[in-house]
Amino acid sequence: MFQVRINKLREKLSEYTLDGLIVSKSENIYYTTGFSGEGLAIITGQKNYIITDFRYTEQAKSETIGFEIVEIGSGLSHFSIAYNLLKDLGLSTIGFESHSLTVKEYDKLVSHFKNINLVKTNGLIEELRVTKDANEITFIKTAQEITDKAFEHILDFIKPEVSELDLVAELEYFMKKNGSEKVAFETILVSGSKTSLPHGIPSDRKIQPKDFITIDFGARFNGYCSDMTRTIIIGKPSEEQLSIYNTVLNAQIRALKLIRPGLKGKDIDNVARKYIAEQGYGKYFGHGLGHGVGLEIHEEPRLSPKGECVLLPGMVVTVEPGIYIENFGGVRIEDMVVITEEGCENLTHSEKRLICL
């Protein structure tokens, strides 16, 4: 698996006339090497290295195959070791990940690379990561299965006078007990008028009758994220609540029906956005329709008005329209799908007709 990825990366390096790449972004190190600790990976046409420190040396040995593990001594810089290794190989043009270094790190890198030409790259490995292989899809499916189970579990706990934070604790505990390494991102669980905040922060607010409750959460399995959102209600919805909910749901269904290879992200966004606008809620849908999911919770491709990326089989994306009305509340419904040859396979199996508790 890693050899396939390294071969693809080497092809990319020669495309860009690079002799090698210094990989510093942790998800990219994990993707190309399997190493999940801290350090740098160096991929060249000849040899591959992992530069790390004592804390991770044993881990690096057990997680990787075909890499030379170089342990840095105390007081030494990863970049100076990288420079010496690359110099010894006689290489002259090396790429680095400009999107993952701080200015301070960049200055340090430049100070060590005296006689090697450094080239900024942006997203080389991300371009490989955008379509998932069969293993990755299995991991994402497993993460989503845990998420679906946790949603069913938490429904029994949602009732008036229980706080948002209590529910988050129960939800995350359940996911861990069921195989999630950690949360895919900070759980969003908001109630009442706070549901108008797309990324609201859970608090000690207690659930009240007639509240919308929005739960946006995910698990992580072998490093891979899941992502889903459901909005439910305590008691019977008002006419307006029901109209908002059904508008979001119908927008999502329209987008899910359209998804297929060959279309652009913006085409999918447009069908949902147009429908919501037609129902009179256009100005209340202020974010993109969806995003890729993988080792990171937000990846390419984007399903947004600016989404130029052409969809391909193996891409995993969310579809998550929403309507948010200040001082009233909001609804978001989010599924995660994998794009197939014919359309898409929905990986999210939780109920999405309005659940009234």
Q: Where along the sequence are the contacts to Mn ion (CB under 5 A)?
A: 227, 318
CB of 79 to Mn ion, least distance (A): 35
CB of 109 to Mn ion, least distance (A): 33
CB of 38 to Mn ion, least distance (A): 27
CB of 129 to Mn ion, least distance (A): 17
Which is nearer to Mn ion, 44 or 231 (by Cβ)? Answer: 231
Closest CA to 123 of 30, 37, 220, 23: 23
Q: Please give the torsion angle defined by the CA atoms of residues 57, 63, 67 and 73, in that order, rounded to the nearest 10 degrees.
A: -10
Which is nearer to Mn ion, 228 or 354 (by Cβ)? Answer: 228
- From residue 329, give the alpha-carbon distance in Å to each of 35, 251, 341, 350: 43, 18, 38, 22
CB of 112 to Mn ion, least distance (A): 39
Rounded Cα distance between 15 and 13, Å, is 5
CB of 180 to Mn ion, least distance (A): 16
CB of 119 to Mn ion, least distance (A): 33
Which is nearer to Mn ion, 136 or 335 (by Cβ)? Answer: 335
Under a CB-based contact definition with an 8 Å cutoff, are residues 144 and 325 in contact? no
Phi, psi of 221 (to 5 degrees): -135, 125
CB of 318 to Mn ion, least distance (A): 4
Instruction: Give me the helix-helix angle, 239-258 and 265-278, nearest 10°.
Output: 150
CB of 159 to Mn ion, least distance (A): 26
Which is nearer to Mn ion, 32 or 318 (by Cβ)? Answer: 318
Which is nearer to Mn ion, 23 or 303 (by Cβ)? Answer: 303
Which is nearer to Mn ion, 40 or 319 (by Cβ)? Answer: 319
Which is nearer to Mn ion, 63 or 227 (by Cβ)? Answer: 227
Which is nearer to Mn ion, 136 or 227 (by Cβ)? Answer: 227
Phi, psi of 111 (to 5 degrees): -65, -25
Which is nearer to Mn ion, 304 or 318 (by Cβ)? Answer: 318
Q: What is the sign of the dihedral through the CA atoms of 298, 248, 230 and 353?
A: negative
Rounded Cα distance between 147 and 157, Å, is 16
